[in-house]
């Protein structure tokens, strides 16, 4: 009996803590403002528009993040294997200089943006960020195909990229 109650409690806890998997970005997330590597302010919806019709991998990361850095070799390998896919790096670094130095030092290829609003901004809240790295895949129609993954090697990401 005790085992049954514990099982039910744990199941309810896990279900209540699960993150919703939306297929579209909220209006607030789309209007959140990022800084480009060239210091231009750009709304997230403009970043998506720039990549319209392409499959997109979004990597939410920071140059100080140990797990982010450990995943980078796999991200780079995946980039080589999927050259037709757009790779967006959205940084949660503490400041612009640290972010730009990290991009340069780590030789990251792709499109780079700084999340001005940080963890608690509209975009971060939409993602329900609690950990980075965080990976998303956007399909060619602009829908969120993969929402909440912390490993770029996750089978769901691999499967989506092969479609």
Percentage of the chain beyond pLDDT 70 is 88
Q: Is residue 100 part of a domain?
A: yes
Q: Is residue 16 part of a domain?
A: no
Q: What is the pLDDT of residues 107-116, one digit of tens each?
A: 999 999 999 9
End-to-end CA distance of the chain: 46
Give the pLDDT confidence score for residue 4 in this predicted structure: 47
Rounded Cα gap, residues 160 and 65, in angstroms: 26
Rounded Cα gap, residues 13 and 86, in angstroms: 36
Q: Is residue 44 part of a domain?
A: yes
Q: Is residue 9 part of a domain?
A: no
- State how far the alpha carbon of 112 is from the alpha carbons of 4, 30, 57, 58, 92, in Å: 49, 17, 12, 10, 11
Instruction: Report which secondary-structure segment, H or E, holds 66.
Output: helix 66-81
pTM (two decimals): 0.86
Q: Is residue 122 part of a domain?
A: yes
Query: Region 40-69: what's the mean pLDDT?
Result: 97
Q: Is residue 14 part of a domain?
A: no
CA 71, 51, 30: angle at the middle one, nearest 5? Answer: 85
Q: Alpha helices, DSSP H only, in 95-148?
A: 96-106, 122-127
Q: Which residues share a beta bridge with 86?
A: 56
CATH of residue 113? 3.40.30.10
Q: Is 62 helix (H, G, I), strand (E, B) or coil?
A: coil
Q: Is residue 35 part of a domain?
A: yes
- Domain total for the chain? 1
Q: Which domain holds residue 89?
A: 21-162
Closest to 32 in 3D by CA, of 106, 129, 133, 155:
129
pLDDT band at 2; cut points 50, 70, 90: low
Q: Which residues contact 29 (CB under 8 A, 6 or more apart)?
A: 44, 122, 123, 125, 126, 127
Q: Is residue 6 part of a domain?
A: no
């Amino acid at each position: 009996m005790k085992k049954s109650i514990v099982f039910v409690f744990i199941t309810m806890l896990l279900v209540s803590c699960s993150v919703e998997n939306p297929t579209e970005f909220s209006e607030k997330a789309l209007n959140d403002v990022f800084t480009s590597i060239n210091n231009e302010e750009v709304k997230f919806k403009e970043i998506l528009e720039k990549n319209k019709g392409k499959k997109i991998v979004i990597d939410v990361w920071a140059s100080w993040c140990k797990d982010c850095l450990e995943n980078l070799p796999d991200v780079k390998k995946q980039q080589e294997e999927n050259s037709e896919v757009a790779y967006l790096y959205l940084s949660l670094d503490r400041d612009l200089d640290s972010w730009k130095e990290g991009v340069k030092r780590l030789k990251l290829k792709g499109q780079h943006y700084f999340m001005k609003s940080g963890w608690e901004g509209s975009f971060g809240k939409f993602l329900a960020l609690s950990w980075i790295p965080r990976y998303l895949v956007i399909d060619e129609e602009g829908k969120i195909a993969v929402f909440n993954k912390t490993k770029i090697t996750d089978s769901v990401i691999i499967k989506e990229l092969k479609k």
